[in-house]
Structures are given as C-alpha cells and as structure tokens.
Amino acid sequence: MSKRNKLLKFAEIQSFPNVYENPNTAKPELLGLYGAVVDLKGKWCTEHFKNENPLTLELACGGGEYTVELSRRYTNRNFIGVDVKGARIWKGSKVALAEDLSNAAFLRTRIEQIALFFEEGEVDEIWITFPDPFLKEGKANRRLTSPQFIKEYRKILKPGGIIHLKTDDPTLYEYTVETLEKEEGCTILYHDDDIYAKPLPISELDIHTYYEEKHLAIGRLIKYVKFTI
C-alpha cells in the first residue's frame, strides 16, 4: 500500500462514526468523530452502542473480518475491533458502515494500553485473531498471550470471561499453552493444533480472516486455544 493511500485512509476514518483512535501513546486519550476528545471508559455499550448488550473485543483485528462477521451473526451483542494500524481498520469500519452494522465499532490503539479505555469488568469476551507471533529472540513478551498482556486483560475482562486465540503459528500456539499452564488463575478450556481436521468446537471458528486464507492456501494448519484468566 502506498504512503499516499495510507494517509487518505487515515484521514477518511476520522469521519467514520464507528472509529475511535488513540494516536499519541505518550499522551493517551480517545478521539472520536473528527478528532473530538471522548471518554467511553465504562460506557462503550450505553453511550456508543446505545444498549447494554455483552461486549466482545477482537484484538489485532487487521481488516476486521471477525468483528464484522460476528456482528452480522450476533445482533444482540456488541463488537469492537482493535488494531494499531488505521489503514487496516479502515476496511472493516467501512464495511460495517455500508451494511449498517450498528453493533460493530473499531479502536486504533496499542493493545498494551487497552486498559486505559475500558473499565474493570466491561468486556465479556476477547478474540485474538492471527496476531504477530514475534518469533525473534527476546520478543516473546510482545506476544498477545504473554503474562504482561494477560495482566492487562484481567483489568477489563469480566470474571469467567472467555479469551480465544486463533493462529497458524506453532511457536505461538505452544507458547500460549505453556504460559497458561504456568500462569496462576488461568484455565485452558480447549485447545487444538489442527481445528479443521475435525468438527469445529464452536461455529465462530469458520470465519476466515485475510491472513488465514493466505495460510490455508499454502497448507498451514490452523490452531485454537480457548481459555479464561
């Protein structure tokens, strides 16, 4: 994607009523329509979605395929796709607006700052869909299932709330299982290193992201972990 195209998308999402941004990590604040400062912490459902339905986050949402499809399937739930890249969020947010999916929204922020924008117990469920596995030496703490991220999720997830990881990467899958087995308070509810070799345990796993389609095309196996923290 050209730099000019990215800048055009960055500018366009500022006019989208379903997109919020935290552009300055050194001075975190939430910006809404046309850059207006907003405060939705603890109020996402009542003030943005105008209801009190359960809230699901899709972390590292990319183009927001899971956020969009889940919002189509479950109109009685609210969904927020979270990613640091505005040009990625542009795609999903534009689809949601075109289809009038009022239960889908998007947040551009670094995920390590997620607890700044959600209240304790505000989130019912989290999906982590094909995140960067950070395979380089010394980068394990940047994986979205590392102890430091689990600590942040605990700040916003309701007791008993479910987290789902879907990945093609064997290192991230094995790391996640090992981390959860060691981490106090974590419980693995289900895990599988080849979900399409058998009937799916939940129907939501049949949603394919852009990256999953690429991985499947070259024969990579798709892995899944379902857990609580």
* Positions marked catalytic: 132
Asked if the model's pLDDT at residue 2 lies above 80, the reply is no
Domains of the chain, CATH where assigned: 3-228 (3.40.50.150)
Look at residue 10 in the predicted model and tell me its pLDDT.
Answer: 79
Residue type, 227: F
The span from the CA of 81 to the CA of 65, in Å, is: 9
Q: Which tokens sit at 128?
A: 């982590």
**Which contacts qualify for 150-154: CB closer than 8 Å, 24 or more apart?**
150/179, 150/183, 150/186, 150/229, 152/111, 152/112, 152/114, 152/115, 153/114, 153/126, 153/229, 154/185, 154/229
At 1 the pLDDT is 52
Strand runs (DSSP E) across the chain, as ranges?
Answer: 19-21, 30-31, 37-38, 55-59, 78-83, 104-108, 123-129, 157-167, 187-192, 223-228
Alpha-carbon distances of 229 from 70, 120, 166, 185, rounded to whole Å: 23, 14, 17, 6
Q: Rounded to two decimals, what is the model's pTM? A: 0.95
Helix axes 3-13, 86-98, angle to 10 degrees: 50
Token couple for 85:
């890249």
Span 7-11, average pLDDT: 81
Could you tell me which residues come within 8 angstroms of residue 221 by beta carbon, excluding any fewer than 6 positions away?
A: 168, 170, 193, 194, 196, 197
Burial of 193 (0-12, 13-18, 19+ CB in 10 A): middle
Residue 95's pLDDT band (cuts 50, 70, 90): very high
Residues 192 and 196: their CA atoms lie apart, in Å, by 9
Q: Per residue in 169-196, pLDDT tens?
A: 999 999 999 999 999 999 999 999 999 9
- In the chain, the amino acid numbered 122 is E
**What are the tens digits of pLDDT across the range 110-153?**
999 999 999 999 999 999 999 999 999 999 999 999 999 999 99
Nearest alpha carbon to residue 109 among 136, 133, 86, 126: 86
Q: What is the DSSP letter of 168?
A: S
